[in-house]
Amino acid sequence: MFEGSVDERVKILANGAKYDVSCSSSGADRKGAKGLLGSAAAGGICHSFAADGRCISLLKILLTNNCVYDCLYCANRRSNDVPRATLTPRELANLTIDLYRRNYIEGLFLSSAVEHSPDCTMERMYEAVRILRKEYGFGGYIHLKCIPHADPTLVKRAAELADRMSVNIELPNEQGLKLLAPAKTKPAILLPMRQLSDIYLDGKETKRRGAPLPAGQTTQLIVGATPDPDGQIVKLSEALYRSYGLKRVYYSAYMNLNTSSLLPVLPTPLIREHRLYQADWLLRFYGFSASEILPENANLDLSLDPKAAWALQHPELFPLEVNTAPYEMLLRTPGVGVRGAWKIREARRHGNLGYDDLKRLRIVLKRARHFITVGGKFYGHSGEITREVMTHLDAPDVVQPSLLEYNRNRELTYSLITGEF
């Protein structure tokens, strides 16, 4: 075990946390109060940018990277020869408060490898958060990882103090877990996920002030470590949203950090991760079901966004007349996002829209004009709209996820802190 200074251990543990991509705007809104240090804003408060464009407002760190598990895909697995480090709960709390007071961060994203046992690790993570909340009166945002196999009592105590928690499902099916992460099981992941869902829903229904988990829960899937098709991944995400009320499912393209005959030789292309986020957006905001986006045994077209691919498969539905089309169909039109569909619906209450009106509404006409008519007139391609034609129309047609989902968190939060604490 590495026994260096706090600064040196923070370098190691911040580096170990960079592979977890589930880090976005907080979703928790809590005003500052007398006697408390800090507050939480639902949209997140970001003021620092990494070299790759990421906007950072959280201290993202592991409590320890000394793991008893040997998951084949993990950089911190037991058999890897990497520097090991651990922070005590008090050291972690002091570091968070110090960085907050220096205005480097707005909150904490705390994860951990499993040291000794799940219960031991979860209890130490809880203790770090307890010190922050109860002793230092820290009112900032806290995202806490939930350790599978941990005692439900510990999970409940942690949920009472955290704004958001997450249980990483990691692989799309149980067979993949048995093969690559035999120490983890599907029930051990889904059980705390159900517990967190119940805690969140109970607090939401009672509407009591200071209810646990105001920002709900999230999870993360590794894409490409196993041969599971995109259709199965999208279907799983849909089930998680419906059954567990998750706020987000994050997708992490597999990176070949370790060597094993059971792992792919090449990393997963980031464009696949990008397409899965677009499909996820369709599930959450555009009214699509997983079966509409693609069959369960199929993969997403990497050269075409999922909504455009769906529109090409349903030529009988297009072109739509923008002045009469239902809002639900406007959402399914390439080039028209959620905000654009709302603008069209509101604007046409005052009269029929023209082509120039759509420009002023900032509809992406480079795509949309091939799927709509305006006042009965068609402005699109004179021939058949094919996949090849749409491939060249590269303007985005769905709200793009944050750069946090696209970039691989290769820069350390620590690098923004100039090395001095």
Are both 413 and 352 inside the same structural domain?
A: no
d(CA 334, CA 384): 16
* pLDDT score recorded for residue 207: 67
**Among the listed residues 279, 276, 231, 280, the one whose alpha carbon sits nearest the alpha carbon of residue 254:** 276
Are both 407 and 315 inside the same structural domain?
A: no
Are both 319 and 411 inside the same structural domain?
A: no
**135 belongs to a structural domain:** yes
* pLDDT score recorded for residue 50: 46
Are both 16 and 159 inside the same structural domain?
A: yes
For residue 77, the domain's CATH number is 3.20.20
120-130 burial code (b ≥16 CB/10 A, e <16): ebbbbbbbbbb
Q: What share of the chain is helix, strand, coil (3-state, %, to 5)?
A: 40, 10, 50
Provide block-wise average pLDDT over 10 residues at a time, the chain (421 residues): 75 79 56 63 45 64 92 89 92 92 86 94 97 93 92 96 92 91 91 94 76 90 94 96 93 88 90 95 96 96 93 93 96 95 95 95 92 93 74 52 38 34 29
Are both 83 and 202 inside the same structural domain?
A: yes
pLDDT tens-digit map of 357-396: 999 999 999 899 999 999 999 998 777 777 777 776 654 4
* pLDDT score recorded for residue 403: 37
Are both 25 and 136 inside the same structural domain?
A: yes
- List the domain range (segments joined by +) for residue 325: 306-391
Are both 69 and 111 inside the same structural domain?
A: yes
Are both 319 and 201 inside the same structural domain?
A: no
The count of structural domains within the chain is 2
**256 belongs to a structural domain:** no
Does the pTM surpass 0.75? The reply is yes
Are both 51 and 86 inside the same structural domain?
A: yes
**48 belongs to a structural domain:** yes
* pLDDT score recorded for residue 141: 86
Are both 364 and 408 inside the same structural domain?
A: no
- Give 166-218 as a DSSP string: E---BSSSHHHHHHH-TT--HHHHHHHHHHHHHHHHHHHHHT-TT-S-TT-EE
Are both 410 and 329 inside the same structural domain?
A: no
**Tokens encoding 321:** 């007349």
pLDDT tens-digit map of 166-224: 999 999 999 999 999 998 999 999 999 999 999 998 888 776 667 889 889 999 999 99
